[in-house]
Structure 1
């Protein structure tokens, strides 16, 4: 009897521990989203009104969670006329695969914390008012397939570290204030489309892109 009781007690403690861990994890995601909301200074369409305590964050507008867990996998707030900064707490959405913030008026720098999103596959920040440099640690997003930062005011060089993104298929950084030469991107073996028009890039493209066999579209004019 004692042995059976101990087994049941251990089982209950394990279940309690797992439940507590899940609650703490969910709280991390909820707080990350609330900090994202706090950095929004203008929301003329009222998209953020649903981001409140009356419903679970997985039901907030633009938020999608996984079916088998309550972890954010998609944040889609494109074309919502939002104004503000991108919260560094975005880096706490560790299960996110798709981040769509394009066609808004986000300003300031791209937070370094984006580089913590190891599961991220699609990152769209194009058509905003972002400045500063492209964080080199975006190269830590090893599953990235599409990266678009065009139509902003980003400065500096194209980070050489981006060349390690072997799964990247689409890279668009057109209409910024980038300078310097194109890095040796020979390891971007999956890259099919690359757009970097209307920047201040100089130098030869041969070392950077000449070995990319899957490259079908390139725009550098």
Structure 2
């Protein structure tokens, strides 16, 4: 019986290890297929950065791709500033271990495919300096691990989706120079880890919510070049007196305005960490 038990144990161990090997191969095959599908709808790669993206080599050796050494899955896709033109393939949503997605400074266009909501481990998403349009999708608020979200210099329109304020780990929100309209919701005060808020160069209106003063980690805020009451060509109302609560603020820009009404609150003088002049 002892020999039989040993034989069964060895057989089960062998089957288990084979299963693990098959699973790992299947997973990396899934990642490979996702990237090749993405490449297939790239209409221009002027510098041939994606030339080595082929089945003849491991995707972990492809330009712009980084794999996690522990589980061998694709961890980062960094294709910033490569001059690429095309759309985002929905298949990128199959990169289930992706932590960083950087497609900034290219010529991507279209809308963000909803399949990206499957990237549940994503911490950094950079789509800045492209030609994306449409509304910022509500599903982006389901990317609960997101820390950096940059959509600046595109043509995103519509309102700020309320789901954004579910991103409790968000540290950087950069939507400068789009076509975002409506007001800044008071729920912005729920982003307790937010360090940088950039919404300049949009079509935002209304006032600045007092709840911004509830952001204890806030270091930089850019709201100029909108139609906000305190940043309009003819200032009306008063700049809210909440600045003493923004203890981490190091940069405050109030430029490109016509301050001919109201006044600058005295408590701005309590911002002891400011490193740049108020401009």
- Indicate the residue corresponding to 1:203 in structure 2: 206
- Indicate the residue corresponding to 2:28 in structure 1: 26
- Indicate the residue corresponding to 2:122 in structure 1: 120
- Indicate the residue corresponding to 1:214 in structure 2: 217
Q: Find the residue that maps to 1:137 and give its secondary structure.
A: helix
Deviations 1:97-154 (A, max 9, x none): 1111100000000122222212111111000000111121222222211110000011
Give yes or no for contact 1:153–1:177 (8 Å, CA) kept in 2: yes
Q: Find the residue that maps to 2:135 and give its secondary structure.
A: coil
Structure showing greater relative contact order (alpha-carbon pairs closer than 8 Å, 6 or more residues apart)? 1
Unaligned runs of 5+ in 1: none
Number of aligned positions between the proteins: 221
Deviations 1:151-206 (A, max 9, x none): 00111111111111111111010111111112221210011111111111112221
Aligned equivalents of 2:117 and 2:207: distance in 1?
Answer: 29
TM-score when normalising by structure 2: 0.76
Larger Rg over CA atoms: 2
Unaligned runs of 5+ in 2: 225-279
Give yes or no for contact 2:52–2:63 (8 Å, CA) kept in 1: yes
Tell me if 1:65 matches 2:70: no
Deviations 1:29-86 (A, max 9, x none): 0111111101201000101111012210110000000112220111010000000001
Deviation of the 1:22 alpha carbon: 0.9
Give yes or no for contact 2:43–2:85 (8 Å, CA) kept in 1: yes
- Give structure 1 regions of 4+ aligned residues with deviation exceeding 3 angstroms: none
1:76-155 correspondence runs (5 A): 76-155=78-157
Give yes or no for contact 1:93–1:117 (8 Å, CA) kept in 2: yes
Q: Which residue of 169, 172, 177 corresponds with 1:170? A: 172
- Indicate the residue corresponding to 1:54 in structure 2: 56
How large is the RMSD of aligned CA atoms in angstroms? 1.2
Deviation of the 1:216 alpha carbon: 2.1
Q: Find the residue that maps to 2:50 and give its secondary structure.
A: helix
